[in-house]
């Protein structure tokens, strides 16, 4: 009898995590790397958030809590969202999870069955595809145009809808390309999904990292609540990646089913992390503003640096904290046959960590995460330029 169930064979190790593991291996062997691989802020978690969690531990807030999160936290989640985006979710329409990735994984698990189709715009965050496939769903890729900043329109989505379509995943601002769906396009997409009874899964991981316009959330379209699951993360907004803190907002019966699944899985997210999350969501939002301002400067610095590499072009990302340059002019040189081979060679010979575009569904790009120091940007892009020009 075979050991493993088919479903584990349907997914791969997250490419970003695989890159991180290889980089860690080289670093441990003494190789000096510039790391544009990690998708996380380089800031420490703000003090008031750390203090709240430390206080919770000291006060022995270290036992199981109710599965979907303590009431004060669920209230802080819906209040924050209402205040920033004008949404109208009740406390029982929110669940706190061990990172947004778990909220996403579970939302797909409770909704997607074998043969169901899920529409996924390209380029996409690496985990969406595998999480859909793990549930037995079929990924329907929606190609976008780089020349149009990877814009996603309602008409393009409509063209992909079939009787098997169960859900559509949107991630705006997106990882990896930083493209943002504007309010008008978003409303049209929400309308299409709502009218057809298709679920929109809205990944708002980077919603606060929007550099060109006021952030919008589909959660503000209350008339379509029935067909939306909004997913949020504290990871990037508050520099809390390691805490594992995320949430889902949706109609009561969806949240009840997420809670049911979570009750047989992680139970509650870590008790004192919940207290830290309350401090983050209900406390001063000045840190969010400061992070965003610095990321915007770093984005511009990175874009300017990349312009010094002949043949590399890059759409200016409107949000998130990645750039997604097109390195197609170099794929094929130096014996490389793909962006993955180029990125691997660049890691070993150029000593720069980037994630190849194949992980995100495109063939000519690499992703660079820019929450690093300016010195690292200077040094890393210099290494990239030298590596590429000598291929
Ligand atoms: N969604 C997107 C688009 C992401 O890029 C990430 C993390 O990289 C997540 C979700 C996961 O966030 P969390 O750390 O809350 O699990």
Looking at ligand 1, which atom is closest to the CA of residue 40?
Answer: 8
pLDDT at position 14 is 74
221 lines ligand 1 (CB under 6 A): no
Nearest CA to ligand 1 atom 6: 205
Which of these, 262, 255, 6, 265, lies nearest to 114 by C-alpha position?
A: 6
Per DSSP, the three-state class of 381 is helix
pLDDT at position 19 is 77
Which of these, 288, 296, 330, 289, lies nearest to 313 by C-alpha position?
A: 330
pLDDT at position 180 is 96
CA 141 – ligand 1 centroid, Å: 20
Question: Where exactly are the structural domains of the chain?
Answer: 6-44+287-389, 47-283
pLDDT at position 236 is 97
Mean pLDDT, 10 residues at a time, the chain of 391 residues? 91 77 90 93 97 98 98 98 97 98 98 97 95 96 95 96 98 97 95 97 98 94 97 98 98 98 98 98 97 98 97 96 97 91 92 94 95 97 97 92
CA 313 to chain centre: 23
101 lines ligand 1 (CB under 6 A): yes
- CB 220, CB 87: distance < 8 Å: yes
Pick the CATH number of 6-44+287-389 from 3.40.50.2300, 3.30.70.20, 3.20.20.100, 3.90.1150.10: 3.90.1150.10
Fold of 47-283: 3.40.640
Q: Which of 127, 130, 209, 319 to mutate to test the pocket of ligand 1 (most atoms within 8 A of CB)?
A: 127
What 8-state DSSP symbol labels residue 347? Answer: I
Q: What sign results for the dihedral spanned by CA atoms 273, 277, 283, 286? A: positive
ipTM of the complex in this document: 0.99
As given in the structure block, the two tokens for residue 108 are: 């797909």
pLDDT at position 232 is 98
Which of these, 294, 382, 380, 374, lies nearest to 35 by C-alpha position?
A: 380
Looking up tokens 């606060």 gives 208
Phi, psi (rounded to 5 degrees) for 276: -60, -40
Angstrom CA distances, 18 to 264, 320, 354, 370, stand at 28, 21, 11, 19
241 lines ligand 1 (CB under 6 A): yes
pLDDT at position 243 is 98
pLDDT at position 246 is 98
203 lines ligand 1 (CB under 6 A): yes
As given in the structure block, the two tokens for residue 155 are: 């008409």
Looking up tokens 């081979």 gives 341
């Amino acid at each position: 009898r075979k050991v493993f169930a088919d479903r584990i064979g349907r997914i791969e190790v997250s490419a970003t995590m695989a890159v991180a593991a290889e980089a860690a291996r080289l670093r441990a062997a003494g190789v000096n790397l510039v790391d544009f691989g990690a998708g996380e802020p380089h800031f420490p978690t703000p003090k008031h958030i750390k203090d709240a969690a430390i206080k919770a531990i000291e006060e022995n807030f270290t036992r199981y809590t109710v599965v979907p999160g303590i009431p004060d936290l669920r209230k802080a989640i819906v209040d924050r969202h209402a205040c920033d985006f004008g949404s109208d979710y009740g406390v029982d329409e929110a669940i706190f999870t061990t990172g947004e990735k778990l909220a996403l994984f579970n939302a797909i698990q409770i909704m997607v069955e074998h043969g169901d189709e899920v529409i996924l715009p390209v380029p996409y965050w690496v985990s969406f595809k595998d999480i859909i496939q793990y549930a037995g769903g079929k990924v329907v890729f929606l190609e976008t145009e780089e020349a149009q900043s990877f814009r996603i329109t309602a008409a393009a989505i409509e063209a992909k809808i079939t009787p098997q379509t169960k859900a559509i995943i949107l991630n705006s601002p997106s990882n990896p390309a930083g493209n943002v769906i504007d309010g008008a396009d978003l409303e049209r997409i929400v309308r299409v999904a709502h009218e057809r009874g298709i679920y929109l899964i809205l990944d708002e991981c980077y919603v606060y990292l929007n550099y060109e316009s006021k952030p919008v959330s589909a959660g503000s379209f209350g008339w379509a609540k029935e067909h939306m699951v909004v997913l949020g993360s504290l990871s990037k907004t508050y520099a809390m990646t390691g805490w594992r803190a995320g949430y889902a907002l949706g109609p009561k019966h969806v949240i009840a089913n997420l809670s049911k699944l979570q009750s047989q899985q992680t139970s509650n997210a870590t008790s004192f992390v919940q207290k830290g999350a309350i401090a983050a969501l209900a406390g001063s939002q000045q840190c969010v503003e400061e992070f965003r301002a610095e990321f915007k400067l770093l984005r511009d610095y990175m874009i300017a640096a990349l312009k010094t590499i002949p043949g590399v072009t890059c759409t200016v990302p409107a949000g998130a904290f990645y750039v997604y340059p097109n390195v197609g002019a170099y794929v094929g040189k130096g014996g490389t046959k793909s962006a993955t081979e180029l990125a691997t060679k660049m890691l070993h010979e150029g000593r720069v960590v980037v994630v190849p575009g194949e992980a995100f569904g495109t063939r000519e790009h690499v992703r660079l995460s820019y929450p690093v120091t300016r010195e690292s940007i200077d040094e890393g892009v210099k290494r990239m330029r030298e590596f590429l020009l000598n291929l």
